[in-house]
Amino acid sequence: MMKVKVIAKLNKRLWPSTSNVPLPEPLIPGDIVEIDKIVEGEYIHPSNNKWYKAINGFYFWSGGANQEVDTIAPPVTVAESEEVQVAQTDLPALLKLNKPVSFGGKDVKILILDSGISKHNALMSKVDFTKSKSFVRGESGVIDDHGHGTMIAGIMAGNDEVIKGISTESTIVSYRVAPGGAVNSNALFLAMQNLIASELSNIDVINMSLDINPVMFASTQDFVNKSLAQGVITVVASGEDMQRNEIDKLANVIKVSTCGPTAFKRFHEGKDKRESLIFLQHNITSSSLNNSYSSIGNDSAYTAIVTGIIASIIAEKKLLKNQQRFAVVKQILKEISFSITNESTPNPFKPYSV
């Protein structure tokens, strides 16, 4: 740890880049800041991409502070390989701070195909329990014995004193197809057939934070195509650390992937290519079983975030429910990505292509 003296006006930021909105109350010359980490971030000038992470979690560009700090505290040496550490703030909060879209998703209905959903306080007013059901043989009612589906729902629309999701004015319907967190192919098939037969007209967005058995690919693609024909957008979790899963092969879906710093850097440099929204993994607090809370940071979590954003886009833009809705949403997602990040900085929300 060390201290630095501010020599120019310095904005507080939630990560090491000027692409995110500065926080209130910037530092002024003469202020002293306690630093616990030096990280690499956006190049403000061609020769300086060093940022200071303060003990309170905020980031400041190093060029606005006096680095001759021997008289204040011993200087520190940071290894060149040290990874950029994202401030410990949930991504939904980062998105809302930057306000790329009016969040809420009013009157938008989201269907989750997952492990089910539990009756968590943060979700009770958000879930249509009369429409939610289990397609697992021998089960009835709405349950979640794993917690995954409950966490996904919380990221999308949870709302209490602990969590606040992306689209808190949306309505969620849960179809249980993954008992114990493992997809049951028969249950998934029955759920998709039920939707095609009678329920697609009541749904706007489908969230599939799961993978599928290869034998289910053809029927799943058929389901996606028929959903799209009715204006329903499907969002899928398409793998972590650049490892493609079976669902990544689907067409006519919005794909979401996550990776750690090394794989993220390779993608940023163009060494790996894929057509999906790529996110740097970061834990997000959400609802869990037994009215508790837990953290999740894989592609499933970010698929839920994207689903919530799409619901908000549909509501804000008043998009008609037709096949053109998909193309419009894809374009707006690209625009959102560049409103809260830029091409030179790998940040938590970094969709490169969709």
Higher pLDDT, 307 or 66: 307
- Identify the structural domains of the chain with CATH numbers, from first to last: 2-66 (2.30.30), 91-351 (3.40.50.200)
Local confidence band at 243 (pLDDT 50, 70, 90 cut-offs):
confident
pLDDT value for 348: 39
Residue 295 forms beta bridges with which residues? Answer: 285
pLDDT value for 82: 31
**Confidence check: pLDDT of 73 > 80:** no
Q: What is the pTM of this model?
A: 0.72
For 349, the enclosing helix (H) or strand (E) is strand 349-351
pLDDT value for 335: 67
Cα distance between residue 288 and residue 65, in whole Å: 43
pLDDT value for 26: 80
How far CA 83 is from CA of 20, 57, 108, 116, 148, in Å, comes to 19, 15, 39, 36, 29
What's the pLDDT tens digit per position in 244-299? 789 989 999 998 887 776 776 666 666 666 677 777 676 788 899 999 988 887 88
pLDDT value for 315: 93
274: left (phi over 0), alpha (psi -120 to 50) or beta: beta
Q: Smallest Cα–Cα separation from 265: which of 166, 170, 347, 340?
A: 347
pLDDT value for 83: 32
pLDDT value for 136: 96
pLDDT value for 161: 84
pLDDT value for 66: 58
Going by C-beta distance under 8 Å and a sequence separation of 6 or more, which residues neighbour residue 87? 14, 15, 53, 57, 58, 59
What's the pLDDT tens digit per position in 154-210? 999 998 888 888 899 999 999 999 999 999 999 999 999 999 999 999 999 999 999
Q: Smallest Cα–Cα separation from 52: which of 34, 70, 69, 68?
A: 34
Higher pLDDT, 132 or 97: 132
**Confidence check: pLDDT of 217 > 60:** yes
pLDDT value for 12: 80
Local confidence band at 69 (pLDDT 50, 70, 90 cut-offs):
very low
pLDDT value for 44: 67
**Confidence check: pLDDT of 141 > 70:** yes
Local confidence band at 74 (pLDDT 50, 70, 90 cut-offs):
very low
Which tokens go with 302?
């970010």
What's the pLDDT tens digit per position in 143-154? 999 999 999 999
**Confidence check: pLDDT of 241 > 80:** no
What's the pLDDT tens digit per position in 287-344? 999 999 888 878 898 899 899 989 999 998 899 999 899 999 988 887 665 444 433 3
**Confidence check: pLDDT of 18 > 50:** yes
Higher pLDDT, 33 or 334: 33
Q: What is the mean pLDDT of the chain?
A: 79
What's the pLDDT tens digit per position in 189-202? 999 999 999 999 99
Q: Smallest Cα–Cα separation from 2: which of 72, 78, 64, 56?
A: 72
pLDDT value for 213: 93
What's the pLDDT tens digit per position in 76-131? 333 322 333 323 233 444 454 455 566 789 999 999 999 999 999 999 999 999 99
Higher pLDDT, 290 or 242: 290
